[in-house]
Amino acid sequence: MSDQLANTVAEIRLPTQELRDDIPFFTKKLGMRMDMIYPADDPAIAVFSGYGLRLRVEKGASEPPGTICIRSDDPDAVADGARVLTAPNGTRIEISERNPPLVMPQTAHSFVIRKLADQAPWIIGRAGMHYRDLIPDRLGGSIIASHIRIPDGGPVPDMVHYHTVGFQLIFCYRGWVDLVYEDQGEPFRLHAGNCVIQPPEIRHRVLFASDNLEVIEIGVPAEHVTTIDHDMTLPNGPANPDRVFSGQRFVHHKQDQATWSDFRLPGYQSRDTTIADNTANVAGVHVVKRGQGAPAWTSHDADIHFTFVMDGHVTLEGDGREPYRLEPGEAFVVPPGMKTRLSDPSDDIELLEVSLPGRFDTKVWE
């Protein structure tokens, strides 16, 4: 910031009809400081400061009175515990918690197939990234699944930030991306086939992307707050890779170090990303491919069960539904208790399965 800006202040102007009525409200009721008032004989303008604001209340100003939102760690200590007030000049004051608890919506279970033929639009989002929604109804707000791409590689205009979230996964689908995370040491490259989880409120930054980068991002709940941290510089140190963030540990899963084993679905095998263990079973992530034996009809009791087709083809059969031949880039959600079968998989089939919770029961139907 230049010296000129450092010595400059900004004020929000609010109207009033009678300044004398507003002075006790802003100073006594809200506890703000009055910094200036004039003219002395018949005051028409006063400036108040507090809560990170500088207000200029001016008699006869043309602006609407507006709304001031005050966020406090102890909202009961502000304005005698009131939550909504109206100043004499008409300005509405809303007082609430600065960091409200994360609310997890109840899942609205449904059977969802996201087809490439749906031609879901790519939306330009944060840091110029392109987003494609993989669960249109978001299961009542309980989850968001996004296919994200950066067509042109190079430095990413990102800032150090964090998410107030219950669970978040970044799976590198195509290309690679350089990332850096709080307490996890130096920046590293996330290659295709590998993934990370971003525990709640871990600071991080996207640094550099390859051409045609594509990732799958899962967030729970669907709507969550992203906060920019202007004070932290990454990497920070010393590294503390075992740190626990709201009950979860950072995971960087690498496919070349993974072990394949029989999957919960007959006819398939999987590599476990260890995410269930490191999130205290909040969520689980498996990469799935063809195994031995024939696929079978199964059902599960997971609250959320999402699958993305990364490679190959497979037919999704649902009890009472028309079968659908899935191709790369398509996704589906299976609600608890519904009988389905993944039949006729191609030899190169590869699926990404995300579930909440991480471990759940699967019933195989004869």
Given a cut of 60, is residue 1 above it in pLDDT? no
Question: Residue 204 pLDDT > 70, yes or no?
Answer: yes
Q: What pLDDT, on the 0 to 100 scale, is given for residue 3?
A: 60
For CA atoms 242, 246, 248, 252, the dihedral sign is: negative
- CATH number at 266 reads 2.60.120.10
Domain co-membership, 50 together with 129? no
**Do 78 and 151 fall into the same domain?**
no
In this predicted structure, what is the pLDDT of residue 99? 85
The answer to whether residues 73 and 97 touch, using CB atoms and an 8 Å cutoff, is yes
Q: Choose the weakest-confidence range: 12-26, 124-138, 176-190, 289-303.
A: 124-138
Instruction: pLDDT band for 196, please (50, 70, 90 cuts).
Output: very high
The radius of gyration of the chain from alpha carbons, rounded to an integer in Å, stands at 26
Please count the structural domains in the chain.
Answer: 2
pLDDT tens for each residue of 129-188: 788 999 989 999 999 999 999 888 999 889 999 999 999 999 999 999 999 999 999 999
Whether residue 251 is found in the same domain as residue 142: yes
Rounded to an integer, the average pLDDT of 235-253 is 96
Of 61, 76, 97, the residue that ends a domain is 97
Distance of alpha carbon 189 from alpha carbon 353, whole angstroms: 23
**Which tops the pLDDT comparison, 181 or 6?**
181
Q: Which domain holds residue 59?
A: 3-97
What pLDDT score was predicted for residue 86?
A: 97
Residue 183 and residue 327 in one domain: yes
- For 237-276, give one letter per residue: b (16+ CB within 10 A) or e: eeeeeeeebeebbbbbbeeeebeeeebbbbbbbbbbbbbb
| Contact by Cβ (8 Å): 134, 145 | yes
DSSP string, 329-355: T-EEE--TT--EEEES--TT-EEEEEE
Over residues 205-225, mean pLDDT: 95
Give the whole-angstrom CA distance, residue 305 versus residue 327.
18
Across the beta sheet with 45-50, the strand order is 12-16, 53-59, 45-50, 33-38
Q: Is 335 exposed, middle or buried (0-12, 13-18, 19+ CB in 10 A)?
A: buried
Report pLDDT for 2. Answer: 54
Q: Provide the 8-state DSSP code for 29.
A: I
Q: What is the pLDDT of residues 79-112, one digit of tens each?
A: 999 999 999 999 999 999 998 888 889 999 999 9
Hey, CA dihedral for 82, 85, 87, 91, is it positive or negative?
positive
Please give the average per-residue pLDDT across 300-324, as a whole number. Answer: 97
- Which has the higher per-residue pLDDT, 341 or 320? 341
| Residues above pLDDT 90, as percent of the chain | 86
Boundary residue ending a domain (43, 73, 97):
97
Helix (H, G, I), strand (E, B) or coil at 294: coil
Q: Which two tokens stand for residue 278?
A: 């490191």
Q: Kindly tell me if the per-residue pLDDT of 119 is higher than 80.
A: no
Asked whether residue 9 falls in the same domain as residue 24, the answer is yes
Q: Are residues 130 and 92 in the same domain?
A: no
Do residues 304 and 215 both lie within one domain?
Answer: yes
The CATH code of the domain that includes 29 is: 3.10.180.10
Mean pLDDT of the residues in the chain:
94
Average pLDDT rounded to a whole number, residues 114-125: 75
Q: Do 71 and 113 belong together in one domain?
A: no
Question: Is pLDDT above 80 for 5?
Answer: no
